[in-house]
Structure 1
Amino acid sequence: MNSPRDVVTPTSRSALYERNRYSPAIRSNGFLFVSGQVGSRDDGSPEPDLTQQVHLAFRHLDEILAAAGCSFSDVIDVTVFMVNPEQNFEVAWPVVQAHWGEAPFPTLTGVGVTWLYGFQFEIKVIARLRD
């Protein structure tokens, strides 16, 4: 029986996804649905510096997008989760913008949260798959 999920997993972090029991991304109907990415170190622990944490989250996101044959320019929808946005927004947002690319920009939903399993920033996206 074929799996109903076409999973995309970057080889560099496959053990981490297997251990945590979720798929990094799923291809479906011309789109790529990417799980929330955080700024974790290779062992899965949080990077303590917020600026570096955001850079790492984008690095992990870019690895997944590349594994699916995409890049951030294919992203159409973004959801960002941030702990304590009143305090962390001014630190995190310039890093986000550095990875954002040129217009037209994707849609964005920003959500302030109280807890992200020890992380301060998470990014989740939907991208269109290339033909």
Structure 2
Amino acid sequence: MSQIPEPRRVGNADIIHHEGFDDSIVSPFVPAIRTVSNARLVFISGVTGAPVYHDHPHVPEVFDSMPTDAAGQVRNAFEHLDQALIAAGCRRHDVVNMIRFFTDVEADQDVVNAHQAEWFGGHIPTSTTVQVTRLATDRRLRFEFHVVAAAPA
């Protein structure tokens, strides 16, 4: 029977692993994160490669300047995530959960995983990845991330 590692404190949360954990496996998520009692949860609206502030109903021309490739969109998305985290008093290691919506997981997941790993710099949040038919903002968007962070009290 494998040894269950002790939780590891990162920022305002404990990283939780369970039986079967193998630190030689490369993974973009951890099984569980427990926030500390004085943390405040921050819920960040869907982050994409499109401009954060845009009209509703959507004006398609507003999105003409966004990149159409996965690498360009993921750079923009994580820049937007940085802006939201900083505005909420958080840092990258405060992210505890990501729900990732892809329009084509097979085509884009590896690009996103590589950028995400570099961006987090070793921190790994909990994560769920799903494929959807399209995203609401603009049909040229390839993915969208819903993020929850644990801000310091």
| Aligned counterpart for 2:85 among listed residues 65, 74, 79 | 65
Give unmatched runs, 5+ long, in structure 1: 1-28
Partner secondary structure for residue 114 of structure 1 = coil
The answer to whether residue 152 in structure 2 is matched with residue 130 in structure 1 is yes
| Aligned counterpart for 2:41 among listed residues 12, 16, 31 | 31
Aligned equivalents of 1:93, 1:56: Cα separation in 2: 15
Deviation, 1:41, is: 4.3
Q: Give a deviation string over 1:29-86, Cα, whole Å, max 9, x none.
A: 8110000100014775142121010010010011011001111110111111111111
The answer to whether residue 127 in structure 2 is matched with residue 108 in structure 1 is yes
Give unmatched runs, 5+ long, in structure 2: 1-38, 55-61
Residue identity opposite 1:122 in structure 2: E
Is the 1:41–1:47 Cα contact (8 Å) retained in structure 2?
A: no
Partner secondary structure for residue 47 of structure 1 = coil
Identity over aligned residues, as a percent?
33
Question: Rg bigger for which structure?
Answer: 2
Provide the aligned C-alpha RMSD in A.
Answer: 1.9
Give 2:143's aligned residue. Answer: 121
The answer to whether residue 87 in structure 2 is matched with residue 77 in structure 1 is no
Q: How many residues align?
A: 102
Q: Give a deviation string over 1:101-120, Cα, whole Å, max 9, x none.
A: 224x2100011111013200
Is the 1:33–1:127 Cα contact (8 Å) retained in structure 2?
A: yes
Structure 1-normalised TM-score?
0.70
Structure 2-normalised TM-score?
0.60
Give 1:56's aligned residue. Answer: 76
Residue identity opposite 2:47 in structure 1: Q
Residue identity opposite 2:73 in structure 1: Q
